[in-house]
Copies of this chain bind each other. A is one copy, B any other.
């Protein structure tokens, strides 16, 4: 990596303009749950994931493809969309269900962040589940890096910032330069304070409080796991694959 000072953290999909990502490598983070679910789907043999911005785009794509090979997936405000094959719980994306399939994927915040990054040089998909693969890729990245936290409706999400801080902590060897960017310092400070018990911190986050009421705690426990796979999902020509 050129320099730890060339890494920044954006804390929501609404917090920047597309042109701020030009020529940069972007790491999209939506721990609860979009990027954790994408990583899980690819780990379990999905051929690829097509992120879409809204139900209209999902519907247009699904009508033009062979339904045997595609699944329509996603959620709106935490709940599976009527008529979709799958929601946004990573636990639904078992090998039996997704192997060999291409997924059309539409979520409240995560896929919006991905779509808004399309003008960047590279788009990686990060979660705690594939943390080390991301850190390894970034450690040899030549471009400037933006860790793009999806957040929640414009607000920051603690679990996303915590993963961003974890990545920066790894890349910096635990000691961040005074000349690092504002966003990097904020994420790093958060990780230093709360990084020793990731699972508890995720459970206590505002997003987790909302999700618990909708889908229970199984997804939270799952998404809080670190390094259960060694995958580097990258977006190429509109499809995320490994």
List A residues at the B interface (Cβ < 8 Å): 10-12, 14-17, 151, 153-158, 161, 178-179, 181-183, 185-186, 188-194, 200, 204-207
CB contacts (< 8 Å) of A190 on chain B: these are 185-186, 189-190
Judging by beta carbons under 8 Å apart, are A186 and B161 in contact?
yes
Distance, CA A109 to CA B67, complexed state (A): 49
- What is the CB-to-nearest-CB distance from A82 to chain B, in angstroms, rounded to a whole number? 26
Asked whether A15 lies within 8 Å of B206 as measured between CB atoms, the reply is: no
Q: Cβ of A158: which chain B residues have Cβ within 8 Å of it?
A: 182, 185-186
Among A11, A188, A192, A206, the one with the most B-chain Cβ atoms within 10 Å of its Cβ is A11
Chain B residues contacting A194 (CB-CB under 8 Å) are: 185, 189
Selected A-B contacts with CB under 8 Å, 29 pairs: A10-B155, A11-B11, A11-B15, A12-B15, A15-B151, A15-B155, A15-B156, A16-B155, A17-B153, A17-B154, A155-B183, A156-B183, A156-B186, A158-B186, A161-B182, A161-B186, A178-B204, A179-B204, A182-B206, A185-B190, A185-B193, A185-B194, A186-B189, A188-B193, A189-B189, A189-B191, A189-B193, A192-B192, A193-B193
Of the listed residues A17, A155, A182, A204, the one surrounded by the most CB atoms of chain B closer than 10 A to its CB is A182
* Residue with the greatest number of chain B CB neighbours at <10 A, chosen from A12, A157, A192: A12
**How distant is the Cα of A151 from the Cα of B154 in the complex, in angstroms?**
13
B-side contacts of A157, CB under 8 Å:
182
CB distance from A93 to the nearest CB of B (A): 26
Contact partner of A155 among B182, B188, B192, B205, CB < 8 A?
Answer: B182
Contact with A200, one of B161, B178, B188 (Cβ below 8 angstroms) = B178
Bound together, the chains give a CA A161 to CA B17 distance in angstroms of 21
**A155–B192 alpha-carbon span in the complex (Å):** 22
CB neighbours (8 Å) of A156 from chain B are 11, 15, 182-183, 186
